[in-house]
Homo-oligomer: A and B are copies of this chain.
Amino acid sequence: MNFEHSDKAQKYINLLNKFMEQNVYPNEEIYNNQLKNAEDRWSTPPIMTELRNKARLQGLWNLYIPPSLSKFGGYSLSNLEYAPLAEIMGKIHWAPEIFNCNAPDTGNMEVFMKYATKAQQDKWLTRLLAGEIHSAYAMTEPQVASSDATNIECSITKKNDKYIINGRKWFITGAMHKDCEIFIVMGKSDPNNENRHLQQSQILVPRNTPGLKIVRPLSTLGYDDAPLGHAELLFDNVEVPLENILLGEGRGFEIAQGRLGPGRIHHCMRLIGNAQRALEFVCHRSENRSTFGRKLSQHQSVKEFIATAFAQIEQARLLTYKTADQIDKLGAKDARDYIAAAKITVPKMTQEVIDQAMQIHGAGGLSDDWCMAEGFNYARYCRLADGPDEVHMMALSKQLIRRFTNKS
Give residues in A with beta carbon < 8 Å to B.
1-6, 9, 80, 140, 142, 145, 147-148, 151, 170-171, 218-223, 230, 277, 279-281, 283-284, 286-287, 289-292, 297, 299-304, 306-308, 310-312, 314-316, 318-319, 321-322, 325, 337-338, 340-342, 344-345, 355, 359, 362-369, 373-374, 376-377, 380-381, 383-385, 388-394, 396-398, 400-401, 403-405, 407-408
Chain B residues in 8 Å Cβ range of A5: 1
Chain B residues in 8 Å Cβ range of A171: 363-364
Contact indicator B341/A310 (Cβ below 8 Å) = yes
From the candidates B151, B292, B366, B381, name the one contacting A363 in the complex (CB within 8 A): B381
Contact indicator A388/B404 (Cβ below 8 Å) = no
Per the bound structure, the CA–CA distance linking A401 and B384 in Å amounts to 24
Q: Label chain A's interface by main secondary structure.
A: helix
Chain B residues in 8 Å Cβ range of A389: 359
Given the known interface contacts A145-B362, A300-B300, the answer about A344 and B291 at a Cβ–Cβ threshold of 8 Å is no
Given the known interface contacts A145-B362, A291-B148, A397-B304, the answer about A219 and B283 at a Cβ–Cβ threshold of 8 Å is no
Interchain nearest-CB distance for A398 vs B (Å): 8
Per the bound structure, the CA–CA distance linking A36 and B272 in Å amounts to 34
From the candidates B6, B286, B366, B403, name the one contacting A381 in the complex (CB within 8 A): B366
Contact indicator A306/B397 (Cβ below 8 Å) = yes
Given the known interface contacts A5-B1, A304-B393, the answer about A377 and B222 at a Cβ–Cβ threshold of 8 Å is yes
Q: List 6 A-B contacts (CB under 8 A).
A: A1-B5, A3-B325, A171-B364, A307-B340, A308-B393, A312-B345
